[in-house]
Amino acid sequence: MLAAIDESNLLTVSEQVRAQWPDAKIILAADNDWHEPEERDKNGRLKKNVGKIAAEKAAIAINGWVALLPTALKSDWDDYRQHHGIESATQAFSNGLYQVGEKKLMEAEAVIIHETKLKKANNNLAQMAASQRGALLVERYGKVAVNPDSEMVYHYNGTTWETVSDNELRRAMVAIFDKHETPYSPNGINNAIYAMKLQVPVIGE
């Protein structure tokens, strides 16, 4: 294990280590100079995570690996060890290992997976029966009930029961479709609301 002492020395030290051990797996234990998004220094300049940037730059140059602290605060690995113990630090170090190109690939894969799940959710919504869409509407409002005589829907706000007009229910159902970028028809909206009224409890019971 070698210490570069300062981030400005990290690239030079890393290149010397690579020259000495050309086949070694070199891991750069980066300081996490974490900061809030858009946070600025005393001179008004946007802060940078210098430790992370320097480690990734050196890792690219020598085909090495980076281990970045999994914390939302400015810290280094010795601080982490002192606060969490050697076992937790060792586990966090192993879990946090990545290569810069590999990290970008993983991020891209995560985006693809998210988009795939979203498309699947969209397809599911389009294929749902009216009763299932009605259940989504109930979920959106929370505690609801219906007056069987007037067919008026009521929503409990934590203190009192408030009426919810059919137009409000239609807009809420449209918002659900829009959220999933799924096309809808007036009949589909009305059928979901009708199904919802059959599902929810009768007010007062």
At 77-100, the pLDDT tens digits run 888 888 888 888 888 888 777 877
Task: Identify the band that residue 3 occupies on the pLDDT scale cut at 50, 70 and 90.
Answer: low
Quick: pLDDT tens for 138-178. 888 888 899 988 889 998 887 888 899 999 999 999 998 88
CA dist 1 and 95 (Å) reads 19
CA dist 149 and 204 (Å) reads 13
CA dist 129 and 181 (Å) reads 17
**Please, are residues 108 and 99 in contact by the beta-carbon 8 Å criterion?**
no
**Please, are residues 173 and 133 in contact by the beta-carbon 8 Å criterion?**
yes
Domain chopping of the chain, boundaries: 9-100, 127-198
* Residue 105, pLDDT score: 45
Strands of 65-68's sheet in order across: 27-30, 65-68, 97-98
